[in-house]
Structure 1
Amino acid sequence: MPKKYRHPMLDAELNTKRLKNEVRTMGRAQKSGVRIPCIYFVDKDNHLMFMERVDGLTLNSYLIYLEEKTESGRLISGEMSKNHDRNSAHACFLNSALYDQQRVYKMLENMTSLGITTKDIARKLGLIIAKLHKSSLVHGDLTTSNIMLTAKDLDIVLIDFGLGMTSSQVECYAVDLYVLERAFSATHPGFIEMYQQILEAYNEAGMKKVIRRLDDVRLRGRKKISIG
């Protein structure tokens, strides 16, 4: 989307560079074995990218669903719990995603029949992130909203590489993990154990240097928050 506060020529140049970078990063991720949406066409003139529609749910939506299920003691229905805060993130999710109930149910049935747990998802995700970093790729915005679970085969798909880049710096990989950690602590505090399982799988993939650097990144992050 054009930025009105920028000079048109500068805006077009920046958008072109970002589009090229995103396409390039996604292509390299795919070659490394990380599943991403298939790119069908890139319109450089209008700065548009046409991609495969991933049939599934974001990890963010799925975890919020599980949280709601745990809190209410039942599967999502079309009604709100009487004690439910309508202004909460859960209420927003329910209001916006009720149309997706059947897909959620089907995915849960598939996971149950296959014996798949959140621990299985966490370990698989940890290995995928390790594979991405071993290929000198950084996602740049690794949140649960940019991780999808496919409805058909419950595979993991990474999306939105707009801030992605190529880097061989351990620091960049650690920041990727820290962004994901913040997403879990802020949005899914009840699933912190799942994040730890992601780190365990990542560490087992031979990424111990990154795990050690993550402690430094956390410390800087806490200092920044305390200073304001």
Structure 2
Amino acid sequence: EAILEMKDFKDLYFPSRDMNIKIVIKKRIKKGYRLKEIDLHLRRSRTILESRLIHEAKKYIRTPTIFEIDRDECYIVMEYVEGERVKELLEKVNSEKREEICLKIGNMVGKLHKNGIIHGDLTTSNMIYRLNEIYLIDFGLGEFSREIEKQGVDMHLLKEALQSTHYKYFLEDFETVMKGYAYIVGNEKKKEILKRINEIEKRGRYVQRDSLYNK
């Protein structure tokens, strides 16, 4: 769990300069129920991992710029990406623009997966549209992995997010996302991911059915 605080870049680093840059300080909070040493280790490791993920992802897609990492206090100082959340944007654009955005989303996820990066919380709430580009934020649940299962889970989460938030256009939007994904990873990989998503959904239905029977 983390808290976010927004500040002006100049107030933190260059008080005497006239700079109009917003930053976000993301700090992982202490958990009183954990042993102090374990708590610090967990918060520090997640802070370092998230900063590494953002830094590595930036080679391939748009992410916030990181200005500072404090391993002892467990916080990251990064750029505040001003723009519109894709969650709201998809609800008001025309079909042509929605297709363009969904293709960009698929391209973006494809680039991450191709380079061994799992985001862990792929929702349109974590995508910011700015100057015709999509920025991906909040890698707090991410990891480095090339496992097809983890890539499938990543994409399954995105599918669920589209279905629950953008249900009117869900089928065509997800199909377009997968089209953009295939542009990067290829059709065979796309088929693998769709097959894994189907398996994940089946497992979910079995769990739901068993829980109903066991009540």
Where does structure 1 differ by over 6 angstroms across 4 or more consecutive aligned residues?
none
After TM superposition, list the pairs within 5 Å mapping 1:1-228 onto structure 2: 1-31=29-59, 33-64=60-91, 66=92, 117-150=97-130, 153-192=131-170, 193-205=172-184, 206=186, 207-208=189-190, 209-228=192-211
2:106 & 2:169 partners in 1: Cα distance? Answer: 15
Counterpart residue type for residue 74 of structure 2: H
Percentage of pairs with the same residue: 33
Q: Deviations over 1:110-141 (max 9, x none)?
A: xx9xx960100001110110010000111011
Structure 2 residue runs of 5 or longer lacking an equivalent are 1-28
Partners of 1:147 and 1:159 within 8 A in 2: yes
Question: Which residue identity does 1:44 align to in structure 2?
Answer: R
Superposition deviation, residue 203 in structure 1: 2.6
Instruction: Give 1:20 deviation, angstroms.
Output: 0.7
Q: Say which structure is richer in strand.
A: 2
The letter for the 2-side match of 1:124 is K
> What are the superposed Cα offsets for residues 43-97 of structure 1, whole Å, 9 maximum, x if unpaired?
1121110111101022123235x2xxxxxxxxxxxxxxxxxxxxxxxxxxxxxxx
Question: Do the aligned partners of residues 184 and 224 (structure 1) sit closer, same or farther apart at CA in structure 2, a change above 3 Å counting?
Answer: farther
Question: What is the distance in 1 between the residues matched to 2:178 and 2:154?
Answer: 12
d(CA) in 2 for partners of 1:171 and 1:216? 10
Gaps of 5+ in 1: 67-107
Structure 1 residues 120 and 218: alpha-carbon distance in aligned structure 2, compared to 1, 3 A threshold: same
Aligned counterparts of 1:172 and 1:3: Cα–Cα separation in 2? 27
- Read off the aligned partner of 1:155 and give its amino acid letter: E
1:69 equivalent in structure 2? none
One-letter amino acid matched to 2:195? R
Structure 2 CA distance for partners of 1:154 and 1:116, relative to 1, 3 Å: farther
Q: Secondary structure at the match of 1:160?
A: coil
For the 8 Å contact 2:90–2:98, the answer to whether it is kept is: no
Structure-2 change in CA distance of 1:188 and 1:224 (3 Å): farther
Q: How big is the alpha-carbon RMSD for the aligned residues of Structure 1 and Structure 2?
A: 1.9
- Provide the TM-score with structure 2 as the length reference: 0.77
When residues 143 and 226 of structure 1 are mapped into structure 2, their CA distance, relative to the original with a 3 A threshold, is: farther
Normalised by the size of structure 1, how large is the TM-score?
0.73
- Which is bigger in relative contact order (C-alpha 8 A, separation at least 6)? 1
